[in-house]
Amino acid sequence: MSGLNAPQKLAVEYVDGPLLVLAGAGSGKTKVITEKIAHLIATGRHEAKHVAAITFTNKAAREMRERVARRVKGDKAEGLTISTFHSLGLKFLQIEHERAQLRRGFSIFDSDDQLAIVKDLAPAGLKNDALYALHNLISAAKNNGLSPEQAAEAARSLREREAAGLYARYQARLQAFNAVDFDDLIRLPLLLLDADAELAAGWRERIRYLLVDECQDTNGAQYRLLKHLAGTRGAMTCVGDDDQSIYAWRGANPENLDQLAQDYPRIKVVMLEQNYRCSGRILRSANALIAKNAHAHPKQLWSQHGDGEPVRVWACKNNEHEAERVAAEIHYLAQAKEILWGEFAVLFRGNHQSRPLEKALQLLRIPYHLTGGTAFLDRGEVKDALSWLRVLANPDDDAAFLRAIASPKREVGATTLEKLAGLAQQAQLSLSKAAENISLLKQLTPRAANGLNEFTGIIHRLRDASERLTPAELTRKLVEQSGLLAMIRAQCKDEASYLRRKENLDELALWFENARGGGAGELAAQLALLTNADRGEPGNQVRLMSLHAAKGLEFAAVFVIGCDDGNLPHSASIEEGRLEEERRLMYVGITRAKAHLYLSHNAETKRWGSVEHLLPSRFLDELPAGDLLRDGSDPERESAEKKIRGRASIKEIASLFDP
Ligand code: ATP
Ligand code: MG
């Protein structure tokens, strides 16, 4: 376990009770978790199958698993659990499905499916915004561990009462579909564990040591789950940084860090104060900024690295100008400092900010990867294929049935489906089961009945085949036999777009091939949990992503764009007095940078077709002036740098002619 400083080493080796590592950015918290997993297994303290680590994204889980695999030899790491809270909840429900009154192959409803239920149950004529708001309230009640009755009691406004009223019916609908939503992945395990001490003891026997990264962003329900798993013995290590809590809007509660100390009075708290990531000026800027937030336990990070480059603050005309400067600077730094494309990140508050950047990068032929762009899992053909898999695994999944039966279109129109839904409801059957019921089919027109018969025929053949096929083979087969592939071919005007869409389906099959364990239904459920940030292994490409998605990562050079008042901090946060969370977001952005940091703001922006003047982010004034190099503050240096950059690009152009 070489290469750890004294408090890190202590945190890794301490196993006598609960441990909290409370420390700032880049101080090695994640490293402590990885090293500790390896330590627990390598020393034989716990078998891998009894160790579970919780990370914030599936991608972080994958990376951590790879790192541990390098540290622990042979098959000793076999059975180790590294996952998000949601994936762990899914695993729990797959094992305990009977207790949760779910049948094997239950579906996970994505946000579209969830909203469709709300729309169906809510009073007619509500606009999407109102439906979202209702769904958010239901979700919030679920995350707070409230039952429908408790939510009704706690309701303060008319809207909340309305949502509480919907909640029970929403839940009944999920139950009828043999489905859960994302919130249930935490809520249901919690309900079961709350109700059954023996079950909880059984799970503590299974998970004998628990480690949690990014603990500041757990919500109330996740925190309670954590407590169940750790139990009174408190066999756990939590690491976190209250200054990096940026998910309040999803119910995250940084006070959980303090709560830990109250719930586990024996807890050992380790502080890490050395930052290994950032150069001196970057770290000083981060420290100065975050010092403006109120702190119960102020911390001061230090770094052994030298001052390094000044933090550059750019005054740009507008976001096109900003994007051009970013692209040109990346181009220059890549050559002059030999920084790989993959070591650059451009971070922003809102996803719309990536558009001008993409254009500017393309112009200079700089390869880039946009996290959370049009996501693979949101693509129509992928959703279609997944809905077929869901119907195969779960005949009660009405949402999937409705999507599958319409892709490709067959002789089953909206009227038929409405009629079928009515009959299904009377007979208390799911749509899929109703479509197989001969006496019900007789009540439809022969043409409609034929259309349904054809569909159920394919489903039956695929279901039979699924027993002999791997999930990947099944996916390939269904893509052919469902008619999906033919549908795509008919829809695409040219070969290239057909191939692109077909590739997405190939990739889906490939994902199943690489995934470990489980039938197609279980794998489809796991897939539903991947978020856009999890997908795709970017190669050597400049990374474009939101500040939220950048948490935990590090890059040689970081550009935080759009440091405009109203964007960062966001105007809604300014109005609602939520400046501290915005400051933490900026802190997260700044502390991603190892050596080069650029913060840019714009003089104006176009909004709804008219030009709006902007002011620089108030956070820029909170940074130590001595560590910044602002546009226009040092004309001599600027003109010298301009010359160097000019020469570099001329040299590059010349090299094109001089092989
Ligand atoms: P964040 O708060 O951003 O999640 P963190 O506290 O989790 O950061 P890590 O990502 O674990 O920090 O570590 C930051 C960087 O410092 C990594 O590159 C890591 O390898 C390096 N590092 C951590 N500890 C040491 C050490 N003792 N010696 C050398 N490098 C270290
Ligand atoms: Mg970390």
Is position 55 annotated as part of the catalytic site?
A: no
Asked whether residue 515 carries a pLDDT value surpassing 80, the answer given is no
Ligand 1 binding pocket mutation candidate from 31, 66, 272, 279 (most atoms within 8 A of CB): 31
CATH of 378-531, one of 1.20.1250.20, 3.30.750.24, 1.10.486.10, 2.40.50.1020: 1.10.486.10
Q: Superfamily assignment of 6-90+188-274 in CATH? A: P-loop containing nucleotide triphosphate hydrolases (3.40.50.300)
- Count of other CB atoms within 10 angstroms of residue 76: 17
Asked whether residue 536 carries a pLDDT value surpassing 60, the answer given is no
Residues 185-223 have pLDDT tens digits of: 999 999 999 999 999 999 999 999 999 999 999 988 899
Give the bridge partners for 107, in sequence order: 179
Whether ligand 1 lies within 6 angstroms of the CB of 223 is answered as no
Give the DSSP letter of residue 369. Answer: E
Instruction: Note the pLDDT of residue 533.
Output: 54
Tally the C-alpha atoms within 13 A of residue 461's C-alpha that lie toward its C-beta: 10
Residue whose CA is closest, atom 19 of ligand 1? 28
Predicted confidence band at 417 (pLDDT cuts at 50, 70, 90)?
confident
Edge-to-edge strand ranges of the sheet holding 628-630: 368-370, 542-546, 344-348, 555-560, 593-602, 311-316, 628-630
Is position 592 annotated as part of the catalytic site?
A: yes
Tally the C-alpha atoms within 13 A of residue 292's C-alpha that lie toward its C-beta: 19
Instruction: Note the pLDDT of residue 499.
Output: 87
Give the bridge partners for 209, in sequence order: 51
Instruction: Note the pLDDT of residue 594.
Output: 98
Mean pLDDT of all residues belonging to the chain: 90
Query: ∠ CA 133-136-139 to the nearest 5 degrees?
Result: 155
Residue 22 structure tokens: 């409370």
Among residues 29, 31, 584, 594, the one annotated as catalytic is: 29
Q: 569 preceded by cis ω (within 30°)?
A: yes
- Count of other CB atoms within 10 angstroms of residue 572: 10
Give the DSSP letter of residue 606. Answer: E
Look at 82-86, 180-184, 265-269, 648-652 and tell me which has the smallest mean pLDDT. Answer: 648-652
Q: Which residues of 221-257 are buried (b: 16+ CB within 10 A; e: fewer)?
A: bbbbbbbbbbbeebbbbbbbbbbbbbbeeebbbbebb
Instruction: Note the pLDDT of residue 535.
Output: 54
Predicted confidence band at 265 (pLDDT cuts at 50, 70, 90)?
very high
Asked whether residue 537 carries a pLDDT value surpassing 90, the answer given is no
Q: Superfamily assignment of 311-367+537-655 in CATH? A: P-loop containing nucleotide triphosphate hydrolases (3.40.50.300)
Q: Can you give 202-252 as a three-state secondary structure string?
A: HHHHHCCEEEECCHHHCEHHHHHHHHHHHCCCCCEEEEECHHHCCCHHHCE
Predicted confidence band at 376 (pLDDT cuts at 50, 70, 90)?
low
The full DSSP string for 47-93 is -GGGEEEE-SSHHHHHHHHHHHHHHS-GGGGTT-EEE-HHHHHHHHH
Q: How large a percentage of the chain has pLDDT more than 70?
A: 95
Asked whether residue 591 carries a pLDDT value surpassing 70, the answer given is yes
How many angstroms separate the CA atoms of 438 and 453, rounded? 10
Are 427 and 419 in contact by the 8 Å Cβ rule? The answer is no
* Widest CA span in the chain: 87
How many angstroms separate the CA atoms of 346 and 558, rounded? 6
Q: Name the phi and psi angles at 63, rounded to 5.
A: -65, -40
Residues 288-325 have pLDDT tens digits of: 999 999 987 788 899 999 999 999 999 999 999 999 99
Among residues 162, 592, 594, 627, the one annotated as catalytic is: 592
| CA of residue 171 to ligand 2 center, whole Å | 36
Closest-approaching ligand to the CA atom of 550: 1
Instruction: Note the pLDDT of residue 532.
Output: 52
CA distances from 624 to 273, 290, 642 (A): 20, 12, 25
Instruction: Note the pLDDT of residue 257.
Output: 87
Query: Distance from CA of residue 102 to its chain's centroid?
Result: 26
Whether ligand 1 lies within 6 angstroms of the CB of 187 is answered as no
Residues 85-122 have pLDDT tens digits of: 999 999 999 999 999 998 888 888 888 889 989 998 99
Are 305 and 596 in contact by the 8 Å Cβ rule? The answer is no
Ligand 1 binding pocket mutation candidate from 276, 278, 282, 290 (most atoms within 8 A of CB): 276
Pairing of strands 542-546, 344-348: parallel
How many angstroms separate the CA atoms of 358 and 332, rounded? 17
Instruction: Note the pLDDT of residue 516.
Output: 64
Q: Tell me which residue of 57, 11, 58 sits closest to 31, measured CA to CA.
A: 11
Closest-approaching ligand to the CA atom of 23: 1
Predicted confidence band at 571 (pLDDT cuts at 50, 70, 90)?
very high
Residue 487 structure tokens: 């549908």
Asked whether residue 645 carries a pLDDT value surpassing 90, the answer given is no
Whether ligand 1 lies within 6 angstroms of the CB of 148 is answered as no
How many angstroms separate the CA atoms of 62 and 81, rounded? 11
Asked whether residue 659 carries a pLDDT value surpassing 60, the answer given is no
How many angstroms separate the CA atoms of 297 and 55, rounded? 24
Q: Taking the domains of the chain in order of start, what are their residue ranges?
A: 6-90+188-274, 107-177, 311-367+537-655, 378-531
CATH 1.10.10.160 for the 107-177 domain, yes or no: yes
Whether ligand 1 lies within 6 angstroms of the CB of 240 is answered as no
Residue whose CA is closest, atom 23 of ligand 1? 28
6-90+188-274 shares its CATH topology with 311-367+537-655: yes
Instruction: Note the pLDDT of residue 642.
Output: 86
Instruction: Note the pLDDT of residue 10.
Output: 97
Predicted confidence band at 375 (pLDDT cuts at 50, 70, 90)?
low
Instruction: Note the pLDDT of residue 112.
Output: 84
Closest-approaching ligand to the CA atom of 272: 1
Q: 123 preceded by cis ω (within 30°)?
A: no
Q: Tell me which residue of 55, 54, 36 sits closest to 46, measured CA to CA.
A: 36
How many angstroms separate the CA atoms of 82 and 88, rounded? 8
Is position 645 annotated as part of the catalytic site?
A: no
Instruction: Note the pLDDT of residue 653.
Output: 66
Instruction: Note the pLDDT of residue 139.
Output: 92
Predicted confidence band at 374 (pLDDT cuts at 50, 70, 90)?
low
Look at 20-24, 56-60, 196-200, 396-400 and tell me which has the smallest mean pLDDT. Answer: 56-60
Residues 450-493 have pLDDT tens digits of: 999 999 999 999 999 888 888 889 999 999 999 999 999 998 88
Q: How large a percentage of the chain has pLDDT more than 90?
A: 59
Instruction: Note the pLDDT of residue 378.
Output: 72
Residue bearing the bigger pLDDT, 547 or 501: 547
Asked whether residue 514 carries a pLDDT value surpassing 80, the answer given is no
Angle between helical axes of 128-143 and 184-195 (0-180°, round to 10): 30
Is position 244 annotated as part of the catalytic site?
A: yes
| CA of residue 62 to ligand 1 center, whole Å | 17
Residues 215-240 have pLDDT tens digits of: 999 988 899 999 999 988 889 999 99
Residue whose CA is closest, atom 13 of ligand 1? 28
Instruction: Note the pLDDT of residue 299.
Output: 84
Among residues 244, 353, 475, 591, the one annotated as catalytic is: 244
Residue 504 structure tokens: 């997405």
| CA of residue 59 to ligand 2 center, whole Å | 13
Residues 31-58 have pLDDT tens digits of: 999 999 999 999 999 999 999 999 988 8
Tokens 């807890």 locate to 267
Query: Distance from CA of residue 256 to its chain's centroid?
Result: 21
Predicted confidence band at 416 (pLDDT cuts at 50, 70, 90)?
confident
Q: Tell me which residue of 259, 181, 254, 189 sits closest to 228, measured CA to CA.
A: 189
Pairing of strands 604-607, 610-613: antiparallel
Among residues 162, 213, 241, 329, the one annotated as catalytic is: 213
Predicted confidence band at 517 (pLDDT cuts at 50, 70, 90)?
low
